[in-house]
Amino acid sequence: MSSPAPVVVSDAPRSVAVCICTYERPLGLARCLASLERLETPGIADDAIRIVVVDNAAGGSAEGLVAAHATRSRYRVTYVHERAKGLTRARNAALAAVRAGGEDALAFIDDDEAAVPGWLAALRDAMVRTGAPAAVGPVYPVFEERPPEWAVRGGFFALVDPPGARFAEEGRSGNVMMSCAELARAGVAFDTAFNELGGEDTAFFRALRARGWRLAVAHEAIIHEWVPPRRVAVAWLAQRWYRTGAVEARTQRRAYNTGSGRATALARGLVRLGAGGVLAAGSALAFGWRDASRPLRRLSTLARGGGLVASAFGYERREYARPQVEARQETRPETRPELRP
């Protein structure tokens, strides 16, 4: 099967909607909104930027915070209450709000993240420079408590493309800008099949890439993500990698709900389980506890294989079936890594 012709965008976006999907994270949301007020956006006037906050809490708990922010913001601010539970539905509500607003481009940032001043401009510049319909930037962790050495050395909590890369292999909804016109032409939205499973952004960007989209890399479009202590654990990472395997099973070329699709997922999963087990054991014997990040990298292969095999038999972990509210405190521990400029 031949690859589709690359989608090329010739015009620079003149207006942008910055979308934030939020669920019961008032302090994180306030920090995210504050970072947007510090943006430096040459080429885009303040009145051409709109902030869209989609509140997915049943009671609309973020409405007062957003209303208060709107009174002092440099930008226009839109509040959307999406009562139907699930990140997929919240992201689709954001897409609908942007379509109604008519902006040239939309950007996504999460409610546990903060942007550097040059974030939006760097994403826009990458799209203009490459002609790509979308651009993604790196996400660096800010640990709320001192992390173990393996967590930092392994880079498990960072999403960063290789230095010098022009285009990304995978998209991420926590740091992206997209052309609204090209998104409308593609006819792609976030798939509700991933509403409780997670990984909706992986499926979304793979669908766009199958239609000829390239995702430019904007290395200077830096986002910082706050990482709570409960995530800095091998069990949490293993669950996330397991989910990645389940998402892979659903996004492979062969239809997930067919016999051939499940057989493909099973075969891939068994290969990952075998290879991951051997590599993890070998790495543990070679490095032991001198560098725990090395066997953990192999564990990721093992866990993804488990997710593929489980999906082949119809078992999936519905991580977002019951959203967990993470208590947040805006602490500034002296031990946290220095924010990247």
pLDDT tier for residue 18 given thresholds of 50, 70 and 90: very high
For the entire predicted model, the pTM comes to: 0.85
Same domain, 182 and 294: no
* DSSP state string for 175-207: EEEEEHHHHHHHT----GGGTTT--HHHHHHHH
- Mean pLDDT to the nearest integer, 110-123: 98
pLDDT at 77: 98
Per-residue pLDDT reduced to its tens digit, 193-226: 888 777 889 889 999 999 999 999 999 999 999 9
pLDDT tens digits, one per residue of 126-159: 999 999 999 999 999 999 999 999 999 989 999 9
pLDDT of residue 338: 45
Alpha helices by DSSP H, 187-288: 200-209, 234-251, 259-287
Q: Which domain holds residue 127?
A: 16-231
What rounded mean pLDDT belongs to the chain? 85
Tell whether the model's pLDDT for residue 307 goes beyond 70: no
Which of residues 313 and 39 earns the better pLDDT score?
39
What confidence category does residue 279 fall into, taking pLDDT thresholds of 50, 70 and 90? low
Based on the fold, state whether residues 57 and 125 are members of the same structural domain.
yes
Verify that 199 and 293 share a domain, yes or no. Answer: no
Question: 122-126: which pairs have CB atoms within 8 A and are 24 or more residues apart?
Answer: 122/218, 122/219, 122/220, 122/221, 122/222, 123/175, 123/176, 123/177, 123/218, 123/221, 124/12, 124/13, 124/16, 124/43, 124/44, 124/177, 125/218, 126/216, 126/217, 126/218, 126/221
Q: Are 219 and 91 contained in the same domain?
A: yes
Residue at a domain's end among 167, 199, 231: 231
Domain annotation covers residue 58: yes
In a domain, residue 186? The reply is yes
Q: Which tops the pLDDT comparison, 225 or 331? A: 225
In a domain, 286, yes or no: yes
CATH number, domain of 96, equals 3.90.550.10
Looking at residue 329, its pLDDT comes to 41
- Do residues 107 and 212 both lie within one domain? yes
Q: Percent of the chain scored above 70 by pLDDT?
A: 76
What pLDDT does 336 receive?
40
Tell me whether residue 304 is in a domain. yes
Most confident residue range from 232-241, 278-287, 289-298? 232-241
Please tell me the total count of domains within the chain.
Answer: 2
Contact present, 291 and 269 (Cβ < 8 Å): no
- My answer on whether 172 and 220 are in the same domain is yes
| CA geometry: angle 95, 101, 103, nearest 5 deg | 85
Tell me the C-alpha distance between 97 and 80, whole Å: 8
Return the residue matching tokens 């699930």.
86
Is residue 320 one of the residues assigned to a domain? no
Q: Binning pLDDT at 50, 70 and 90, where does residue 242 land? A: confident
What's the pLDDT score for residue 227?
96
Position 114 in a domain: yes
Per-residue pLDDT tens digits for 160-173 = 999 999 999 999 99
Within a domain: 324? no
d(CA 139, CA 172): 9
Residue 166 burial class via C-beta count within 10 angstroms: exposed 0-12, middle 13-18, buried 19 and up: middle
208 and 249 together in one domain: no
Domain's final residue, options 185, 202, 231: 231
- The whole-number pLDDT of residue 4 equals 86
Same domain, 194 and 139: yes
Whether 325 shows a pLDDT value over 50: the answer reads no
Residues 193 and 239 in one domain: no
Identify which has the larger pLDDT, 237 or 185: 185
In a domain, 158, yes or no: yes
Contact 173, 87 (CB under 8 A): no
- 8 Å CB contact between 244 and 304: yes
244 and 169 housed in the same domain: no
Q: Lowest mean pLDDT: which of 74-83, 104-113, 324-333?
A: 324-333
Please say whether the beta carbons of 75 and 46 come within 8 A: yes
Domain match, 258 and 201 both: no
Are residues 118 and 29 part of one domain?
Answer: yes
